[in-house]
A and B are shown apart, each in its own frame.
Chain A
Amino acid sequence: MKKTLVLTVNGERHELQVSADATLLRVLRDELGLYGTKRGCDTSACGCCTVHVDGNSVYACAVYALSVDGSAVTTIEGLGNGDRLDPLQDAFIRAGAVQCGYCTCGMIMSARELLAGTPKPDEEQIRHAIAGNLCRCTGYTKIVDAIKMAAGS
């Protein structure tokens, strides 16, 4: 049975009919076509699906969509301003922090939450902030560099 879900995603209000077992990840990808949020594991362990719900980063695969009814959701598509990239997106490009890129969007969302609360994080704060986001290509070195670059630290 489907129920009505109201979500504001990247500033745009959506009213959708979703089933009780639909995760936020499924709604974002399958209903709203927001492919930037990736499925890597479906068991809240890899971080590829990290998005913000009312400003807090969550694994979208671990959240039932109806449980965040009425919330404001930000995905990677909601970062930056028009053609202007978020400083983190820009820094990930410049630092060479992107390889296969499948983890990148979730990684940036976790880093964005960190910088919102801690504008000048040290290296340990950065590493712990992204410890819930797995990357298999980079060894995280250039990801940490990128976050430092975006923070100007």
Chain B
Amino acid sequence: MGGADLIGKSVTRPDALDKVTGGRGYPVNVNLPGMLHGKLLRSPYAHARVRRIDTSEAQRLPGVKAILTARDVPQIPFCPVYFVPSDGETLIRDMLILGDHVRFAGQPVAAVAAISEAIAEAALALIDVDYEELPAVFDPEQAMADGAPQLHDGVARNIAKNPSFEFGDVEAGFAEADHIFEGVYQTQRVHTCYMEPRVCVIDCDRDGHFTVHSSMQHIFGLREKLAYALGIDESRVTVMKPPYIGGGFGGKLDMGYIEPLAALLSQKTRRPVRIEQTRYEDFICTTRNPIKMWLKTGVKADGTITARQAKSILDSGAHATHGAQVIMVHGLFGMTFPYRCPNKKWEGFTVYTNNIIGGGYRGYGAPQGCFAVESQIDEICEKLGLDPIEFRIRNALRKGDPHPFNPAWTLNSYGYEEALRRGAERIGWATRKPAGSSSGVRKRGIGVGTQGIWVSGCMGFPDIYEHTGAIVKLNRDGTADVATGTVDIGSGAITALSQIAAAELGIGVDKVRLVSASTDTVPFDAPTHASRVTYSSGLAIKAAAAEAKKRVFEIAAGLLEANPDDLEMIDAQVRVKGSPQSSLALTEVIRVAETPFIKDTLAGPRPSSPPQYKGTIMGSSSLAPPENPSPAAAMFAEVEVDTETGQVKVLRCVYAHDLGRLINPNGAEGQVEGGIQQGLGYALMENLVFDQDNGACLSADFLDYKMPTAVEMPRVIESIFVETNEPSGPFGAKSLSEQCVTVPAAAIAAAVYNAIGVRITELPITPERVLRALGKL
């Protein structure tokens, strides 16, 4: 195979062999000569002022090379989120590398570099910090009340962001309704649980140039954030692209404290400095923000939604970080866009508390919204005796509708109804029993959750990068090097992008290599996030490959005495369309391009080929995608609830998704299966628990933070891919990843309701909550 027939075929990951035999490429394995090890001293208090820090004893410990406190670091307020430019006007820059105001338990107050981790750790114990403890607040609603402790100067009632919007006339919409439903839905704080801890190795050279290795999802974002926080030019930072990282899921979508601190420690010591977070340190940063949502929906007797109104309070923790963006995405994509409804009103609050900071997490505000919106739809259908499938289709957007995010765009491909109907058929929706009707101790139920609108990247979002680029270069052996800033965080981007490059060029996928890159060598690329890589990076790689192919055709046209427009490349052969006998091997074209202009022959020097054929065959791109097409997802879950123990077991999941065009079936299934695992954990067990007196995280390790193991996962997960062929996408593709995580909680919650006949509106649905709902506790 070597052409468009590569699209839709399962392809082995190019990095799989390396990973099953040890995996050298993770940032955690970077080891430089003379490297020092850094450790951070973290505050035990959730809200305090640092009166004084005495590092003298730690300084004297043999092996300690440098110590930093607030007075040693630039005091430039920054926002660590990679995908928003630091100079954005509305950006909330409220963090310091080290400061004297502690706002959460675990905030760093000092950093040490030493010749070993053990010495650095021992030095931390010798640093004497005098804290003045301040009153703390851990509940966002209390934080908004008069008289609550104020976390940031000039931020009244701790409200960091208060977006709102209104479409149509909600009062008129509610007046038109036959029934009005109201509910309150609460989600919890969870962690992405990437398996490779966050780690960085930073080397500052004699010229003050920083070379950065880090486990992160965006090389250019880290370059920009690091330079900004240090107060230096971006050109003084080079971020190396790791061959791969050990998971991200949005949890490595912002600069941590470790990167600027390692940079400054390196600058001070003139040696490379490595800082690797402990799992505890990972758990207390970059979490999915809890959101409480008050949701009101008006419907006509026939099931038409007439109005919807909501208020959402997001617990941002000590700093805004992603909270200011998550609230918007939550309000728009979680609540407002998915269904046709002319009258909508929403208000959101991103609220500071003394809880740990939030972060990015796959779904980015949508899971919180989807759980609320879909749970309420399930309730509406139950109360009005309507079928949840037909209700959704009646209110759903349709192909050809204007895109709710940007009416200038049209939903040119939109398979929501098809996904829903195919999924319903596969799960056996018609056999679903009335809620709570199954007899016995263990009760079974089936539920559905959907997400009708989501993104393929961030095109059209204010203040968010989306442009991306690639370089495709052909080698003499007929292989193609593809250089891009896109980081493969595990999702298989590397595979799908190789397929897209190979398909466009007309060569085998084994002839394509995603090569090493850094911020020095490739065009800017937005992060690996927002379900954007297949669509956006795919378009950039396809464009760069097309440019390289155009050059191949220019040279081959001369050699074949044909018109370049009449050529095609299949299986690494350049052929005249319709005359396959008139062809030339790609390697021959490259040879002509790369050989010296003058060839020394037995008869003396001769021109080898015309000079206009000479030069490396390559193509490059740097572009913004034209649109932001929406995928659509519907998930069905079958559960068994033990009414004696309260335990919920998910027996089977059917997940149907419109992804435009399937590039790599095996990889796409992997996204679904892993996404459902994260969604199942969110629905049933995962929860970061805090001491309500002092804000300390009580479940910051895998013994206390329960995520699904192979035993808890359903034995059957069925993926259905609806192919609607998105006209703007590479080979018709749009996005997949995040919806797989967004819909499971809603589907599982509805299935639990169907099993026991009692609705649970707070996540996670633990045995305790089930028993309480059943009146057994």
Interface residues of A, Cβ cutoff 8 Å to B: 21, 34-36, 38-43, 45-46, 48, 76-77, 80, 85, 89, 92-94, 96, 98-105, 108, 123, 126-128, 130-144
Asked if B670 contacts A39 (CB within 8 A), the reply is: no
B707/A101 in contact, CB under 8 A = no
Of B21-29, B73-81, B567-575, B581-589, the stretch lying at the interface with chain A is B21-29
Nearest neighbor of B715 in chain A, beta-carbon distance: A123
Min C-beta distance of A103 to chain B, whole Å? 5
A-B contact pairs, 9 of them (CB 8 A): A35-B24, A43-B701, A45-B702, A46-B279, A96-B10, A102-B26, A104-B19, A131-B711, A139-B717
Choose among B195, B247, B703, B710 the residue that contacts A140 (Cβ–Cβ < 8 A): B710
Chain B contact surface mostly: loop
With A and B bound together, what is the CA distance between A127 and B29 in angstroms?
Answer: 29
**Which residues of B sit under 8 angstroms from A105, Cβ to Cβ?**
19-20, 22-23
- The chain B residue sitting closest to A86, CB to CB, is B20
Which listed segment binds A: B380-388, B399-407, B672-680? B672-680
| Contacting pair B279 A99 (CB below 8 A) | no
Q: Which residues of A contact B670 (CB under 8 A)?
A: 96, 99, 137-138, 141-142
- Which chain B residue shows the least CB distance to A21? B118
Which A residues are CB-close (under 8 A) to B673? 138-142
CA distance A138 to B326 in the complex (A): 25
Assess whether B194 is interfacial by the CB under 8 Å rule.
yes
Cβ of B492 < 8 Å from any Cβ of A? yes
**In contact, A42 and B279 (Cβ under 8 angstroms):** yes
With A and B bound together, what is the CA distance between A80 and B710 in angstroms? 25
Using A93-B17, A136-B677 as known contacts, say yes or no to A100 and B711 having CB atoms under 8 A apart.
Answer: no
- Residues of B in contact (CB 8 Å), total 57
User: In the complex the two chains form, is A103's CB within 8 Å of B195's CB?
Assistant: yes
Q: Could you say which residues of chain B place their CB within 8 Å of the CB of A35?
A: 22-24, 26, 29
Q: Within B234-255, which residues are at the interface with A (CB < 8 Å)?
A: 244-249
B707 with A36: CB separation less than 8 A: no
Q: Which residue of chain A lies nearest to B283 when distances are taken between CB atoms in the complex?
A: A41
A residues within 8 A CB of B22?
34-36, 76-77, 105
A138's partner among B10, B16, B674 (CB-CB below 8 A) is: B674
Check A85–B29 contact: CB distance below 8 A: no
* Residues of B contacting A42 in the complex (Cβ-Cβ under 8 angstroms): 278-279
4 tightest Cβ-Cβ pairs between the two chains A and B: A100-B490, A102-B246, A101-B19, A36-B22
**CB within 8 Å of A: which B577-602 residues:** none
| Chain B, 664-710, CB within 8 A of any chain A CB | 666-667, 669-670, 672-678, 701-703, 707-710
For A126, the chain B residues whose CB sits under 8 A away are 710
B interface residues with partner A (beta carbon < 8 Å)? 10, 12-13, 15-17, 19-24, 26, 28-29, 118, 192-197, 244-249, 276, 278-279, 489-492, 666-667, 669-670, 672-678, 701-703, 707-711, 713, 715, 717
CB-defined contacts of A142 to chain B, threshold 8 Å: 666, 669-670, 673
Given contact pairs A130-B710, A131-B710, A96 touches B21 in the complex (Cβ within 8 A) = no
Within the assembled complex, what's the spacing in Å between the Cα atoms of A122 and B677? Answer: 21
Measured in the bound complex, the distance between the Cα atoms of B198 and A39 in whole Å is 11
Q: How far is the CA of A75 from the CA of B365 in the complex (A)?
A: 41
Which residues from chain A contact B196 at a C-beta distance below 8 Å? 38, 40, 100, 102
Indicate if the CB atoms of A100 and B489 lie closer than 8 Å.
yes
A89→B673 CA distance, assembly (Å): 21
A89 cross-chain contacts in B, Cβ below 8 A: 20-21
From residue B652, how far is it (CB to closest CB) to chain A in Å?
12
The answer to whether A100 touches B279 (Cβ under 8 A) is no
Structural contact, B701 and A41, CB atoms closer than 8 A:
yes
CA distance A143 to B709 in the complex (A): 12
Assembly CA distance A91 to B675 (angstroms): 22
Residues of A within 8 A of B244 (CB): 100-101
User: Given A40-B195, A45-B701, A130-B710, 20 other A-B contacts at CB below 8 A?
Assistant: A21-B118, A36-B22, A80-B21, A85-B20, A92-B20, A93-B12, A93-B17, A93-B20, A96-B669, A98-B19, A99-B490, A100-B489, A101-B246, A102-B23, A104-B23, A108-B20, A134-B709, A139-B677, A139-B708, A144-B710
A100 to chain B, nearest CB (A): 3
